[in-house]
Amino acid sequence: MTTTSQSSQILAALKAGQHITPIDALNRFGCFRLGARIYDLKQAGHQIHTARVETPSGSLVASYSLEAQA
């Protein structure tokens, strides 16, 4: 899978109102570098919010979503 198609799939999921974590990106899109794809999308002008969420095991991971449009 190419970077562009991963970015497109991630953006589509974000536009659908979904929150994406690194494990989601790996399982759904085969993306090992979600942070890099989010960076690419931000550079393209998309307003993406980053939050830290705790997993059931107690570790913190990033969760990405599109910022609400005013």
30, 7 Cβ separation under 8 angstroms: no
Q: Which residue has the higher pLDDT, 20 or 4?
A: 20
Report pLDDT digits (tens) over 21-70. Answer: 999 999 999 999 999 999 999 999 999 999 999 989 999 999 999 987 65
| Cα distance between residue 14 and residue 11, in whole Å | 5
**Helix, strand, or coil here: 63?**
strand
Domain limits, the chain: 3-66
Q: H helices of the chain, where?
A: 3-15, 22-29, 34-43
In this model, does residue 3 exceed pLDDT 90? no
Task: Count the neighbouring beta carbons within 10 Å of the beta carbon of residue 61.
Answer: 14
The CATH number corresponding to 3-66 among 3.30.2320.50, 3.30.470.10, 1.10.10.10, 1.10.3080.10 equals: 1.10.10.10
